[in-house]
Structure 1
Amino acid sequence: MDDELRPGADHVSVGLDAQGRVASWSAEAERVTGRPAREVLGRRLSVPDPVEAEPSSGERRAAEEALRESEQGFRLLVQSVQDYGIFMLDRIGNISSWNAGAQRIKGWSAREAIGRHFSMFYPAEDVAAGKPARELEVAVAEGRLEDEGWRIRKDGTRFWANVVITALYDEAHRLHGFGKVTRDMTERRNAEQALRERRRLVGHLVEAQEVERRRIAWDVHDESIQSMVAVGMRLQLLASRLPEPHASAVAGLDDAVQAAIGRLRGLVSRLRPPELDQHGLVEAVSAYVEEVAGRWGLAHAVRDELTAEPSAAAAITAYRICQEALSNIHKHARATRVDLHLSTTDNGTLVRISDDGAGTAGEDAGSGHFGLVEMHERAEAANGWLSVTSVPGRGTSVEFWLPMLPDVMGLEP
């Protein structure tokens, strides 16, 4: 027959079998000890000192007070947050709580919002399409939903919101409702749109600039240079028929014409390097580096690890950035050597230009150095990126990446 422990006024009832295992466990025993019946039934029970066996009423009160303070602190935190709208929905989407951030973002007070369906924040077209209900369904199925889209303020204006809806369950895993966190992202979206528009305009400007450069190069080559070549030939013919000292004077004029033709051909090459169209990016960059580094007294090397030729648009952008970077090295770096490395990385073209100069380009970039600004804009307009790192006394490295554009041509490895 079961033994029972009944500590008088507390009505704690514990039944033991003949082997001393717990056979019954009253609700009061569960309340006092904090251990449910399923944890103790069938286990052996020794009867310790009652003072040690049961938490004192003082300990229980302290624990309950700590829990209340924690819950109150959390409620105060949620209610005080201004940058996020945090509120609760019941199982069907009616608003059951409302914080200060929700009022600031959406315009409704707690009295106006609580009890109403959260679909009032959605544009009419989203409500008609069933978006609010669908979002709750997804939150239930997946545990949470995150979305960005237009929402409506009390005054009827729209704002771009980032929304997270989390399904909330009780201990029995029954749906209790939903937690909803909203953030006004309108300023960020406007800034992103402005940046995209700026990049689009820069892209159009760069494209127009390249078209105009090509037109000028063709005009200079086909008209000015050809005309001057004809003048030079006539001067040479005339010099061959004149006696001295007139022949030497005409020959001097021919030398001046030939020098002018050379300068014009250099201009044509800078406007639209023929190597770029004929042989590709590496040949064009190598020819330019060979020319300017020799003129500036720089030791140099170009390392080619491209496995795919960039499109014409990407190639001319890369070439122009290399031109500007080398010009900056000549003007500011006080370098003795420059190295270029071209490779294919992440389905794009990666170029690194390093020098051994003073290492001040990073400071120039921070102060709005025009050449670096132009390089950044060119890279970003092509949906790429550019970074500049400098170590004082150890040189500067300009690195940029441009994506492959649709007319990518594979090369033999």
Structure 2
Amino acid sequence: MAARKPAAPLSETAFTLLVQGVLDYGIFMLDPYGYIVSWNAGAERIKGYRAGDILGQHFSVFYPPEDQASGKPQWELETAVAEGRLEDEGWRVRKDGSRFWANVVITALWDEKGVLQGFGKVTRDMSERRAAQHALTERRRLFDHLVRAQETERRRIAWDVHDDSIQAMVAVGMRLELLADQVPETQSAELRRLDASVREAITRLRSLTFRLHPPGLDRHGLVEGLASHLDDVVGTAWGMPYSFYHRLDREPAPETAVTIFRIVQEALLNVHKHARAGRVDVVMRSCDGGITTRVVDDGTGAPRTRDGSRDHFGVIEMRERAETAGGWWSLRARPGTGTTVEFWVPSPQPETDTADAVP
């Protein structure tokens, strides 16, 4: 097979046409003092100046008044000379006076003798990306607020049930037990059956308070809280064999931890109620800037409602929790081979600084 002939180098004219025709990037040159000596179509689109309007002007015209006053344009040129290049993100100004968020790279250009000939400047309009980041941040804040509000309400309900309803039913049970010892045997048996019903209801209410606000999650974090839940509920209360594998880069934020815990909790409850499974396995690992979790059982397959769909309340709740957090959720099942609930939620790094405010 004949060797491929190397492509001919791009001519200076073709390269100029390429630069001039780029629309997504403003590409232009400055002389050694910062005055504009070339201008491409992308720069015109981004900044609003035609070449005839801007050639010969100083590039500081693109900077907001506060940056001009602080000497930022000159500092950027000096930094590019000292370090070879400079990259910056910040506000820039269009011809009509409007501001946009830009990514800027300034590169010092030297001739073969080491004499500074000027600067190459590449500008990219990042306004849409920054707006999307702000929208995502705001959505995350609203989601965190919602999770905190939900958990606060769950905690209040759990306390109310424990301190009021359960205590009242315990008192009723004690009265029934005392009465059973004081009445004839024919009535005593009925009272003891009522007492047994009350005790069973108390057990169910205590289980409800545990599900509403499981202990350990607040104090020990996601891994220990989930491990404790699996041991207490799946292993001890249900008597079901299970495994729990986890590999996390770091402990997630409390709101993320609660979201994952609640989805796993609902998935496990579905396994217990519907799957007729012999065991369940939970896997949780960091992945793609978030946490992927799988709950796998060996039961009969996904539960279906009377109309044949899988979208009963628990499934809807799991999906909505994951999607509200900005993630995804899926359910895979085949009759006789068990069910896999898998989901991913983002786990962003804690914010260390705040973005510039829009003027």
What is the DSSP-based 3-state SS (H/G/I as helix, E as strand, rest coil) of the residue aligned with 1:241? coil
Question: Is it true that 1:181 corresponds to 2:110 in the alignment?
Answer: no
Question: Is it true that 1:113 corresponds to 2:61 in the alignment?
Answer: no
> How far apart, CA to CA, are the structure 2 residues paired with 1:288 and 1:272?
11
Aligned in 2, Cα 1:113/1:186: closer, same or farther, shift over 3 Å? same
Letter in 1 for 2:37: S
> How far apart, CA to CA, are the structure 2 residues paired with 1:198 and 1:307?
24
Residue from 160, 174, 186 that aligns with 1:233: 174
Question: Is it true that 1:301 corresponds to 2:243 in the alignment?
Answer: yes
> How far apart, CA to CA, are the structure 1 residues paired with 2:301 and 2:75?
57
Aligned in 2, Cα 1:94/1:329: closer, same or farther, shift over 3 Å? farther
Question: Is it true that 1:374 corresponds to 2:321 in the alignment?
Answer: yes
What is the DSSP-based 3-state SS (H/G/I as helix, E as strand, rest coil) of the residue aligned with 1:274? coil
Structure 2 equivalent of residue 257 of structure 1: 198
Letter in 2 for 1:105: I
Deviations along 1:28-60, whole A, 9 cap, x unmatched? xxxxxxxxxxxxxxxxxxxxxxxxxxxxxxxxx
Query: In the TM superposition, what is the alpha-carbon distance from 1:280 to its structure 2 partner?
Result: 6.7
Question: Is it true that 1:155 corresponds to 2:96 in the alignment?
Answer: yes
| Counterpart contact for 2:103–2:126, Cα < 8 Å | yes
Query: In the TM superposition, what is the alpha-carbon distance from 1:96 to its structure 2 partner?
Result: 0.3
| Counterpart contact for 1:354–1:398, Cα < 8 Å | no
| Counterpart contact for 1:340–1:351, Cα < 8 Å | no
The two structures have a TM-score, normalised by structure 2, of 0.75
> How far apart, CA to CA, are the structure 2 residues paired with 1:153 and 1:317?
44
User: After superposition, where does 1:137-286 map in structure 2 within 5 Å?
Assistant: 137-276=78-217, 284-286=225-227
Letter in 1 for 2:187: H
Residue from 250, 261, 266 that aligns with 1:319: 261
Structure 1 equivalent of residue 353 of structure 2: none
> How far apart, CA to CA, are the structure 2 residues paired with 1:276 and 1:170?
64
What are the ranges of 5 or more consecutive residues in structure 2 without an aligned counterpart? Answer: 1-7, 303-309, 351-359
Deviations along 1:349-401, whole A, 9 cap, x unmatched? 978545266999xxx9xxx97524523655x7xxxx88989899895655778
> How far apart, CA to CA, are the structure 2 residues paired with 1:353 and 1:403?
20
> How far apart, CA to CA, are the structure 1 residues paired with 2:301 and 2:109?
56
| Counterpart contact for 1:199–1:377, Cα < 8 Å | no
Query: In the TM superposition, what is the alpha-carbon distance from 1:224 to its structure 2 partner?
Result: 0.8
The percentage of counterpart residues that share the same residue type is 55
Letter in 2 for 1:229: V
> How far apart, CA to CA, are the structure 2 residues paired with 1:152 and 1:328?
57
Query: In the TM superposition, what is the alpha-carbon distance from 1:285 to its structure 2 partner?
Result: 2.5
What is the DSSP-based 3-state SS (H/G/I as helix, E as strand, rest coil) of the residue aligned with 1:173? coil
Question: Is it true that 1:340 corresponds to 2:282 in the alignment?
Answer: yes
> How far apart, CA to CA, are the structure 1 residues paired with 2:331 and 2:161?
39
Aligned in 2, Cα 1:70/1:283: closer, same or farther, shift over 3 Å? closer
What is the DSSP-based 3-state SS (H/G/I as helix, E as strand, rest coil) of the residue aligned with 2:74? helix
* Larger relative contact order, structure 1 or 2 (CA cutoff 8 Å, min sep 6): 2
Structure 2 equivalent of residue 61 of structure 1: none
Task: Indicate the larger mover: 107-116 or 265-274.
Answer: 265-274
> How far apart, CA to CA, are the structure 1 residues paired with 2:117 and 2:186?
108
> How far apart, CA to CA, are the structure 2 residues paired with 1:334 and 1:172?
81
> How far apart, CA to CA, are the structure 2 residues paired with 1:309 and 1:77?
48
Deviations along 1:298-318, whole A, 9 cap, x unmatched? 641235789998887776455
Say how many residue pairs are matched.
326
Aligned in 2, Cα 1:81/1:305: closer, same or farther, shift over 3 Å? closer
